[in-house]
A and B are shown apart, each in its own frame.
Chain A
């Protein structure tokens, strides 16, 4: 497997899907290069899962085309599917099998050749932290472990493209961090498409984000571009002896400052500038009593809410 930066692994053009009169997905296109992680966002019912089902050949689109590493998914489905790993919303687990039996089955179904199989299974189990439960029945595992088994199943054959539908759902915060690290690791030489409701997850893990609403793409850009969309970065600064908003806004590099509460200000930075140092220095100089300085987590959320609710109103 050679890692080539410009290689396109997933390409979908004009995917549409109707269920009777209802249009679930309407002309979604996407393109993904090797080593990229794409975050798929959207409110419930936006068509994320339907799109993923079409990308993995589980659902035939009403129109549109998908190719995986240049192989057309509808003309040569088996060749294309061999390069895919998919964790659906509801992990497809056989409760009566042990973890190892199940991963072994997944490896066989994905045609991992016999000499490499044992190593591939061990690797997948280790990467998902399943080594110590390998002999347990899947039905007896907790939700978090079951989710990890689902991820292990999707990566055991080292696919070029990994598609994960809400992989961190039902996990505790530690597990979420582990899974995010795992996804980042996967992103190093696979392409990953990730759908989630958790916006910080997208910001911390993904290179690109695509927001779906009513089955259509309403936003698609890199995470860096997303921050531009929001008009620069933003921090929340809390002062015990708060100055006037104007005093903060006067600092060079600060585009805008507004009071979020009596002591906390929302400070927007100008494009490309980072006046955090200056802000701290000024606060100490004038003894504003700085007690909190936190990057605002809401930038993607703002975009998300802005885009998905704007449409609702119109």
Chain B
């Protein structure tokens, strides 16, 4: 069994941070705090940008369409599974240690949500930077006294807030079961934390893809391809490499497969290794996005 330690994850963070920049001079590790501007009227600039991003999201029909369809799909799946559960309930009671409603109804709901998010997040993230470029509104942000870090983090926080809303609304479905029964809150917490992290991973990849082009749809396609490629490659590579005893490439592959890292959470387990891998992926793609935008200023 591969030894999982947060330290390996930290070493990977260093590698992931350095890899893309070997062409440039190595960046110094500026503490994040010094890249962010001080509090302004009690408000970080990140939240100003995030607030604007949320406002724009809700001003576009896309956000509402995505919200609606996600709710329809998830609610349908949820009710179907609930129905099935009711029918087999009498047989379950006869089992010695029967699985509960959380395992049989709620966990599959979150698994479906993970897959739906895989499609939805690229669509929601595509306009973050690409549309600003296309409408030439990026100038407003770049001319303002903000660092690229603040711009990218602001966009990320804005999208993450929207995704939290999606997760929040969806979580109301299992919570409604409390009216007639009990839930395994440990498992539910694992599922919620896992799916939030997963959505954040997708959002970071989507944000990076949005920096690559001025066409939102192209950005969505890039994000979707990246995510799909990462899932397939990461999934197969992680086990294959580990089987051969190549631990560092295996760990790297694991970082790149957020769905695999979601698995322990889906079992109600907060696995520090998976947690580190997901945070690493988010950090890596956010740093890539920042570098990309800085490079755009150099390139013109």
A-side interface residues, number (CB < 8 Å) = 35
- B139 interface residue (CB < 8 Å to A): yes
Which A residues touch B59, using CB under 8 A? 96-97
Min CB distance B246 to A, Å, is: 41
Task: Say which one of B48-56, B115-123, B208-216 lies at the interface with A.
Answer: B48-56
Instruction: Kindly identify which residue among B56, B135, B139, B144 contacts A110, using a CB–CB cutoff of 8 Å.
Output: B144
User: CA A57 – CA B144 in complex, angstroms?
Assistant: 9
CB distance A60 to B143 under 8 Å? Answer: no
Which B residues touch A101, using CB under 8 A? 55
Q: Which of B43, B141, B297, B300 has the most CB of A within 10 A?
A: B300
CB-nearest residue of chain B to A80: B145
CB-nearest residue of chain B to A86: B143
CB distance B137 to A56 under 8 Å? Answer: no
B-side interface residues, number (CB < 8 Å) = 29
- A82 interface residue (CB < 8 Å to B): yes
Instruction: Kindly identify which residue among B55, B144, B147 contacts A109, using a CB–CB cutoff of 8 Å.
Output: B144
Given A78-B146, A90-B136, A93-B137: A59 and B55 within 8 A (CB)? no
Given A96-B59, A105-B48: A58 and B297 within 8 A (CB)? yes
CB distance A114 to B41 under 8 Å? Answer: yes
* Chain A 76-117 per-residue mask, 1 if CB under 8 angstroms from chain B, else 0: 011101101010101011111100010001101111011001
CB distance B56 to A17 under 8 Å? Answer: no
Using A57-B143, A109-B146 as known contacts, list a sample of 19 further A-B pairs with CB atoms less than 8 Å apart, ordered by residue number in A: A19-B300, A57-B142, A60-B297, A60-B298, A77-B147, A78-B146, A84-B143, A92-B137, A92-B138, A93-B137, A94-B52, A96-B60, A97-B55, A97-B56, A101-B55, A106-B144, A109-B145, A110-B144, A110-B145
List chain A positions with a Cβ less than 8 A from chain B: 17, 19, 50, 53, 56-60, 77-79, 81-82, 84, 86, 88, 90, 92-97, 101, 105-106, 108-111, 113-114, 117, 153
The 5 closest A-B pairs by CB, nearest first: A96-B59, A114-B41, A92-B140, A109-B144, A82-B145
